[in-house]
A and B are shown apart, each in its own frame.
Chain A
Amino acid sequence: MKSLEELKAIRERMQNKVVLREGGADKRIVVGMATCGIAAGARPVLNAFVEEIANRGLTGAVEVSQTGCIGMCRFEPIVEVFEGDQRVTYVHVDPVKAREIVARHIVGGEPIVEYTIGAAEK
């Protein structure tokens, strides 16, 4: 290694890859991934979230994880976004909506009302 810059470059490239292990992110995106969710296409949704969060360099700040059946199979894929006490439930999510949720809700701070369960039940 000939310079500190080289070290810094490796650090920056790698930091995104280990930051996941710190836990304790303040925002959480949870994708329902039981059999019904997977059948309804939850896997590409999960991957879309993971990619979009990583592309925006948010891996340490936003946790993307999966959960089992939420019990509302007709709305799958279901995604819940937790922030403090607030919880927003999105339904019939697809990869395009997933990227939109990251852009407008996670980054922009505004839940997308028309995708939420409240809107779907009306």
Chain B
Amino acid sequence: MIRTHVLICGGTGCTSGGSQAIADNLKAELERLGLQDEVQVIRTGCFGLCAMGPIMIVYPEGTYYSRVKPEDVKEIAEEHFLKGRIVERLVHKEEAGQKLEDVPALGETNFYKTQMRVALRNCGVINPENIEEYIAMDGYAALGKVLTEMTPAEVIDVMKKSGLRGRGGAGFPTGMKWQFAAANDADQKYVVCNADEGDPGAFMDRSVLEGDPHAVLEAMAIAGYAIGASKGFIYVRAEYPIAVERLKIAIGQAREYGLLGEDIFGTGFNFDIDIRLGAGAFVCGEETALLTSIEGNRGEPRNKPPFPANKGLFQKPTIINNVETLANIPQIILKGADWFASMGTEDSKGTKVFALGGAINNTGLVEIPLGTTLRHIIYDIGGGIPKGRQFKAVQTGGPSGGCIPAQFLDTPIDYANLTKIGAMMGSGGMIVTDDSTCMVDFARFFLDFTVDESCGKCTPCRIGTRRLLELLNKITDGRGEPEDLDKLEELCYYIKANALCALGQTAPNPVLSTLKYFRDEYEAHVFEKRCPAGVCKNLMHYEIQPDVCRGCTACARKCPVGAISGTVKQPHTIDVKKCIKCGACIETCKFGAIVKK
């Protein structure tokens, strides 16, 4: 009889860290020790603390092992599973040197204790490749409920009352979207799941698909019932092989159990789902481009109106919802609109998953009620900024969003507040920057991305973003002229007003928000030809301070281009014309004589 469950993360992060080998080794060790009928090994989805992966959690004790390596498995099996001795050196500790007895229970750690998991509730808990584990967690009960107890209009009503808004970017109220599509009469309608996840800082959709794929399938069937559709598509990027594989397994099992297909629960309701693979173009996450791509054409946006709810896929009424949006829905049906609406703020109900990245200690996924402050997310849950550096800003909404400086750390995060301060929710990516980041260069990074990803269909975006990038390059290269700042701003507003789709319309946001909050950095580049963060290579040089230099010659030997000269025991100098600014000398000097200026 099974007495111990060993959950090993099978998310993308931990899998690349070797979690498959860990699971395989563990199974072999358990056989060897004769424990295979007592200890069960389960591969789950992401636990959220990917930075500490590969993660292993042991129940019933709730022991949380982090950074486990395949070679640690033998010790864990012999010590913990055979002899009951927890392997202390592998137990995850939030503070260095914490004693085993002081390590809090998993749910009580700073990282988890204020999280509230709705969309991620089964991630890291169930085996995503076993439909029965999903059913054990009340899976498909919501579908059963809507099919047997509710009319489509009642379902839409619950969605509207819950206040759920789209988690894919635009934040459109989900119930309203469904109502528009339901109101149209058509011989065929479609439900499409947007799993393109193009924002470079975000991976919550991937984690949901990898950790709880049935939640998405169930929600799509519920949506199908609500709007009168019998067919669904999941558009997922081919760069997510684990997610695609788990989706395929999940769809196969749901069909086998009669939870997809015909006459579901004997109610006469039919619904089936197919997968469509995207090639990973950012613009294909835009809903009309996505539909065009499913139809077999090049993924370019179309004009709205007509909106997809009226004329969508193959010109039929279609709803498109994001993965995370969908993952909330079965819970809303089971627990009620009021339960969902009790979390969050006035205009933003429920919870949101954020992907923490950049200069932050706990990179990973967190799900918290909307209305939580940035300070809480970054310092309490995220563990603050590494290497004792200072927080500078956080970019939300990826390449379409904006940066938020320190003065807004105590602003509650919701759709309205983020828009007000010039950022946006987007898909929930959060890239934290510290004082070593140049904000002009940061904006340039995002523009570089949008220029690459612009589909080219309309001129404001195709040409406009390129000109923006050129201006930014000019400024970071030290060739900026005083009028460039005004030009930059004017061009931003022009693109926003004239681009065809939201890719172009939001592309200038990173420039506008950095201009708004870090104008002094732009000005330093343009007027003083100086990069305050010391990032822009053309605007800085290395210098040896003669009074500190001992003439040890170490740097001269290290410099790859021979730019440093001097005699032994005499101060050395750097020839700025030869110097390629690689920084090798700074690291070499034991006396701190070399400075970046």
Q: A11-B136, A17-B136, A51-B1 are in contact. Are A32 and B84 (CB under 8 A)?
A: yes
Which residues of the partner chain A approach B141 to less than 8 Å between Cβ atoms? 7, 11
Which residues of the partner chain A approach B38 to less than 8 Å between Cβ atoms? 46-47, 50
Q: Are A4 and B105 in contact (CB under 8 A)?
A: no
Check if B140 is an interface residue, CB within 8 A of chain A. Answer: yes
Q: Are B126 and A1 in contact (CB under 8 A)?
A: no
Of A2, A14, A31, the contact of B132 (CB 8 Å cutoff)? A14
B59 to chain A, nearest CB (A): 5
A121 to chain B, nearest CB (A): 24
Q: A54-B1, A68-B83 are in contact. Are A21 and B105 (CB under 8 A)?
A: no
Q: A23-B60, A50-B2 are in contact. Are A14 and B133 (CB under 8 A)?
A: yes
Q: A32-B84, A64-B3 are in contact. Are A4 and B148 (CB under 8 A)?
A: yes
Of B60, B125, B257, the contact of A1 (CB 8 Å cutoff)? B257
Which residues of the partner chain A approach B245 to less than 8 Å between Cβ atoms? none
Check if B265 is an interface residue, CB within 8 A of chain A. Answer: yes
Question: Chain A 27-39, CB within 8 Å of chain B: the 1/0 string?
Answer: 0000111110010
Please report the total number of B residues contacting A with Cβ < 8 Å: 37
Q: How far is the CA of A51 from the CA of B2 in the complex (A)?
A: 8
Of B61, B106, B136, B263, the contact of A65 (CB 8 Å cutoff)? B61
Check if B7 is an interface residue, CB within 8 A of chain A. Answer: yes
Q: Are B85 and A18 in contact (CB under 8 A)?
A: no
From residue 206 to 240 of chain B, which have CB atoms closer than 8 A to chain A? none
Please report the total number of A residues contacting B with Cβ < 8 Å: 35
Q: A2-B266, A50-B2 are in contact. Are A33 and B84 (CB under 8 A)?
A: yes
Q: Are B2 and A31 in contact (CB under 8 A)?
A: no
B582 to chain A, nearest CB (A): 51
CB-nearest residue of chain A relative to B60? A63
Of A20, A34, A54, the contact of B84 (CB 8 Å cutoff)? A34
Q: A1-B259, A2-B265, A64-B60 are in contact. Are A18 and B84 (CB under 8 A)?
A: no
Q: A11-B136, A25-B60 are in contact. Are A1 and B84 (CB under 8 A)?
A: no
Q: How far is the CA of A60 from the CA of B400 in the complex (A)?
A: 46
Which residues of the partner chain B approach A65 to less than 8 Å between Cβ atoms? 3-4, 60-61, 84
Q: How far is the CA of A68 from the CA of B80 in the complex (A)?
A: 8
Most buried by A among B59, B82, B266: B59
Check if B176 is an interface residue, CB within 8 A of chain A. Answer: no
Q: A3-B266, A18-B126 are in contact. Are A11 and B138 (CB under 8 A)?
A: yes
Check if A118 is an interface residue, CB within 8 A of chain B. Answer: no
Check if B561 is an interface residue, CB within 8 A of chain A. Answer: no
Which residues of the partner chain A approach B144 to less than 8 Å between Cβ atoms? 4, 7
Q: A46-B3, A50-B2, A67-B84 are in contact. Are A14 and B62 (CB under 8 A)?
A: no
Which residues of the partner chain B approach A25 to less than 8 Å between Cβ atoms? 60
Q: A1-B258, A11-B138 are in contact. Are A20 and B5 (CB under 8 A)?
A: yes
Q: How far is the CA of A2 from the CA of B84 in the complex (A)?
A: 45
Which residues of the partner chain A approach B60 to less than 8 Å between Cβ atoms? 20, 23, 25, 63-65
Which residues of the partner chain B approach A18 to less than 8 Å between Cβ atoms? 125-126, 133, 136-137
Check if B264 is an interface residue, CB within 8 A of chain A. Answer: yes
Q: How far is the CA of A14 from the CA of B135 in the complex (A)?
A: 8
Check if A66 is an interface residue, CB within 8 A of chain B. Answer: yes
Which residues of the partner chain B approach A21 to less than 8 Å between Cβ atoms? 5, 7, 59, 125
Which residues of the partner chain B approach A47 to less than 8 Å between Cβ atoms? 1, 3, 38
A99 to chain B, nearest CB (A): 13
Which residues of the partner chain B approach A14 to less than 8 Å between Cβ atoms? 132-133, 135-136
Of B4, B140, B265, the contact of A3 (CB 8 Å cutoff)? B265
Q: Are A38 and B83 in contact (CB under 8 A)?
A: yes
CB-nearest residue of chain A relative to B134? A14
Question: Chain A 2-19, CB within 8 Å of chain B: the 1/0 string?
Answer: 111001001101110110
From residue 119 to 155 of chain B, which have CB atoms closer than 8 A to chain A? 125-126, 132-133, 135-138, 140-141, 144, 148
Check if B386 is an interface residue, CB within 8 A of chain A. Answer: no
Most buried by B among A14, A20, A38: A14
Q: A3-B265, A4-B265, A15-B136 are in contact. Are A23 and B107 (CB under 8 A)?
A: yes
B32 to chain A, nearest CB (A): 15
Which residues of the partner chain A approach B148 to less than 8 Å between Cβ atoms? 4
B379 to chain A, nearest CB (A): 27
B111 to chain A, nearest CB (A): 16
Q: How far is the CA of A65 from the CA of B38 in the complex (A)?
A: 12
CB-nearest residue of chain B relative to A31? B84
Q: How far is the CA of A76 from the CA of B5 in the complex (A)?
A: 25
Q: How far is the CA of A66 from the CA of B144 in the complex (A)?
A: 40
Check if A57 is an interface residue, CB within 8 A of chain B. Answer: no
Chain A residues within 8 Å of B, Cβ to Cβ: 1-4, 7, 10-11, 13-15, 17-18, 20-25, 31-35, 38, 46-47, 50-51, 54, 63-68
Instruction: List 11 additional A-B contacts (Cβ < 8 Å) besides A3-B266, A24-B105.
Output: A2-B265, A4-B148, A7-B140, A10-B135, A11-B135, A11-B138, A11-B141, A14-B132, A14-B136, A65-B3, A67-B84
Report 26 cross-chain contacts, Cβ distance below 8 Å, ordered by A residue: A3-B265, A4-B265, A7-B135, A7-B140, A10-B132, A11-B138, A17-B136, A18-B125, A20-B5, A21-B5, A22-B59, A23-B59, A23-B60, A23-B62, A24-B62, A25-B60, A32-B84, A33-B84, A34-B84, A35-B83, A46-B38, A47-B38, A50-B38, A65-B3, A65-B61, A68-B84
Going nearest first, the 9 A-B pairs with the smallest beta carbon separation are A66-B84, A14-B136, A68-B85, A33-B84, A1-B258, A63-B60, A50-B3, A23-B62, A2-B266
